[in-house]
Copies of this chain bind each other. A is one copy, B any other.
């Protein structure tokens, strides 16, 4: 098993490169000689600033929002990077295949945004199993989840013709319930009790705030990038901007109301992350995604829009959740096979299992737990 991770990662990357060579071409390939771009491709370049905003969310936002655990910063950022880098390649291939009608996939900025979205779905699920799984398990989950995600997204968007611009159902609800199903299958009663590593320190919470803020700041781009250009895109930007602001004030108010002593809790996301399934993705993405789906049905019911049908929206919501749970359960069973290097209970939430961490800095993040040991070093 010694080289398992390396061999699987290399095997997957070689496969990706071969599949790209065979099935992918530039969307600019049909343009020759003139150097000028078709309208389609120009529109694609207009999306580039929105793409970069989303790219920050995927790599800096998701990566840092999970650094709140005191000993798991390297893994949060590092495995986030690994999942996203593999996921965006695989997402490009699978989504390209589904929408290509047998032709080659023609990639451009729009595909890059969709690829980042594929990765986002897995990163949401990653939150549910954070600290309790190995890098190999995450590679496997990435491959399976993105295949199922792309299938569901294709069914909802291209078959049911349902509307899901903010991706409430296909990304947020899907990613959350997929991850929760995996976490359910991998459930370990011993981790139910508070694990000594499963907590934050002051500085790790501030690192997590960097991620939180970048997710928050660029959310309008996430919600609008693939909306129809013009009025719809404009509306998605404006709505997200003001809704997020209203949410912040409300969350502060209710957080203070519910907290003993009326104190505030580190805002918004990071707090909730500390409930058991590691990251509370149910509250963060699952419920909001379902609410988004229900709201889309309600909007039709009250006549806000006549472009979509209630039946199809309901079917899309049901399909997304059912596919996510089904896919997650199967993935969980595969990950449970005891050959993937899943960390032992006492090694959970600890970078040192998979990473080389700086020496002699124990006190840096868990001084109290190992006070004597640290003291011993002082004597030397």
Contact = CB atoms under 8 A, between A and B. Distances in A.
A9 B249 contact: yes
Contact of A246 (B13, B202, B263, B264): B13
A55 B217 contact: yes
Interface stretch (A107-115, A154-162, A285-293): A107-115
A77 B10 contact: no
Interface string A42-85: 00110011101101100110011001000001100110011011
Contacts of A264: 74, 78, 135, 354-356
Number of copies: 3
Nearest to A16: B246
A168 B31 CA distance: 27
A5 B264 CA distance: 10
A371 B245 CA distance: 41
Interface of A: 2-3, 5-7, 9-10, 12-13, 16-17, 20, 26-28, 31, 35-37, 41, 44-45, 48-50, 52-53, 55-56, 59-60, 63-64, 67, 73-74, 77-78, 81-82, 84-86, 88-89, 92, 107-109, 112, 135, 199-203, 205-207, 209-210, 213-214, 216-218, 220-221, 228, 230-235, 237-238, 241-242, 244-250, 252-254, 256-257, 259, 262-267, 353-361, 363-365, 367-368, 371-372, 374-375, 377-379
